[in-house]
Structure 1
Amino acid sequence: MDLRKIAQLLEISEEHLLEDGTLAFLEKEKRLTEEDLADFRERYGVLSRAELEKKIKEGLTPPHPAWEDLIQWENLEAYRAKLDSLLREFHASRV
């Protein structure tokens, strides 16, 4: 089903559908990213990536799979920062 047909069926403009869909996608991605980050905090009993790294280096948590999780945590934080930036730009453009 294409965007035009959906917009017609919902009786809204394609632009409105695209904007609302984009916003919903960005918000969903941020929510899922936050959930993944919360899982890491809970799994390792830490509040930050730096705390996890310290625990690994001090031998307080097994390095495997903690090092891999640390890398994934860093990537998730970078992804969240991109999402935050896009959401700020999106909201600023709608004012």
Structure 2
Amino acid sequence: MKAEIIEEISRYIALDKNSLLDKGIESLLKEKKRGVMLDRLEILSRYKVSSAEELERKIREGEIEEHPAWEDLIALENLDSALEKINGYLASLSAST
């Protein structure tokens, strides 16, 4: 059933199945990237900083209360790692086309 639908969509938009798959993965990665970037921006704006490093510095210097800032810093670092991974996947997809 899925194969038939994929074939029909492929014909409808005039793309071969591999290109359709590539475009679909790229779109999903870009959507995920937008979500990660929004989450990252929310944390950065909450503390009026532009990076995880700046947030950490402000916590250490006592400009920002430690709780919940440390937890947010960990979340921010995880979001930065996720962005790196997504960007790597997108670069790999671009290089292979």
TM interval, short-chain normalised: 0.7 to 0.9
Q: 1:29: how far off?
A: 1.1
Indicate conservation of the 8 Å contact 1:30/1:83, yes or no: yes
Q: Does 1:14 align with 2:17?
A: yes
* TM value normalised by structure 2: 0.86
Q: 1:4-50, CA deviations, whole angstroms, 9 ceiling, x for partnerless residues? A: 13223322543233211100011111111111111111100001111
Q: Does 1:33 align with 2:36?
A: yes
Partner Cα distance (1:86, 1:56) in 2: 33
Q: Does 1:93 align with 2:92?
A: no
Task: Tell me the C-alpha RMSD between the 2 structures.
Answer: 1.4
Q: What 5-or-longer segments of structure 2 have no aligned partner?
A: none
Partner Cα distance (2:18, 2:86) in 1: 21
Letter in 2 for 1:59: G
Letter in 1 for 2:48: G
* TM value normalised by structure 1: 0.87
Report the equivalent of 1:53: 56
How many residues align? The count is: 93
Q: 1:64-88, CA deviations, whole angstroms, 9 ceiling, x for partnerless residues? A: 1110110011111111001111111
Which secondary structure does the structure 1 equivalent of 2:64 belong to?
Answer: coil
Q: What 5-or-longer segments of structure 1 have no aligned partner?
A: none
Q: 1:54: how far off?
A: 1.1
Aligned equivalent of 2:78, options 75, 79, 86: 75
